[in-house]
Amino acid sequence: MANRVERLGEAVRAVFAGESPTVGSALAVLGERGFGALIVLLALPAALPIPAVGYAVPFGFGIACLGLELSWGRKEPWLPRRVLSLRLPRADPDSRAIRFFAWLERWVGEHGPRIRGMYRLIAGLVLASMGILMMIPIPGTNTLPGASAFVIGLGLLYRDGRLVLAGAVFGLGLLAAYVVVALGISRLFSPT
């Protein structure tokens, strides 16, 4: 199972073929796509417009760390040994959910610029920024950064440069909006 597979649908089937896989064995099969898989899992709850207490700070921290790892040029995400040894639930390799990954890959595919060099650095820094914005303890402030991180994560997972670019541009715009609001609030409360 340690072989890397190019197609995501094949990779997901390889992960769930046989015994219950560990997080480490799944990441070994996914390789660099593991960044996308982890970011999608961490960003999905925040990207949904429903309130959920308690996940924003740890998930935002995880996204920020993965973004920094990506911008530093790591080939695969680093996780603590304890997390890598956790077992994933067993799934049927031919289930509808697993086939959905293969269908989505045909729809999304590898499009747009390759995610390398400066492009990868910018995507990683935007992800780190979105993770930090998700940690702001104000209700409703983590949905848009979560959506940006989710889109970037999907782009990384499916090697689709267009999705990564769209998520990064949205994230940069969001970062600018947060800065403008923060400056406005600071001027409002500053003694003149």
Which residue would you say has higher pLDDT here, 31 or 82? Answer: 82
Q: Which two three-digit tokens encode residue 7?
A: 């197609």
Contacts of 114 (CB under 8 A, 6+ apart): 161
**Residue 91 pLDDT exceeds 70:** no
Confidence of residue 1 (pLDDT cuts 50, 70, 90): very low
Q: 78 — phi, psi (to 5°)?
A: -95, 135
Q: What are the tens digits of pLDDT across the range 94-132? A: 667 666 666 666 666 666 666 777 888 999 999 999 999
149 with 127: CB under 8 angstroms?
Answer: yes
**Residue 17 pLDDT exceeds 80:** no
* Residue from 151, 119, 138, 124 nearest 178 by CA: 138
* Residue from 189, 153, 132, 133 nearest 34 by CA: 153
Confidence of residue 192 (pLDDT cuts 50, 70, 90): low
Give Cα separations from 176 to 119, 133, 170, 172, 187 (angstroms). 19, 12, 10, 6, 17
Confidence of residue 146 (pLDDT cuts 50, 70, 90): very high
**Distance between CA atoms of residues 51 and 21, nearest Å:** 31
Give the model's pLDDT for residue 106: 66
pTM here is 0.82
- Name which of 42-46, 124-128, 180-184 the model is least confident about: 42-46
Confidence of residue 142 (pLDDT cuts 50, 70, 90): confident
**Residue 78 pLDDT exceeds 70:** yes
98 with 92: CB under 8 angstroms?
Answer: yes
Q: Which two three-digit tokens encode residue 143?
A: 């949905």
Give the model's pLDDT for residue 15: 63
pLDDT above 90: percentage of residues in the chain? 32
* Size (the chain), residues: 192
Which residue would you say has higher pLDDT here, 63 or 96? Answer: 63
**Residue 5 pLDDT exceeds 50:** no
Q: Where are the domains of the chain?
A: 8-189
**Tally: H helices and E strands in the chain:** 9, 0
DSSP3 helix / strand / coil % (the chain, rounded to 5): 65, 0, 35
Contacts of 5 (CB under 8 A, 6+ apart): 11, 14, 29
**Residue 61 pLDDT exceeds 60:** yes
**Residue 3 pLDDT exceeds 70:** no
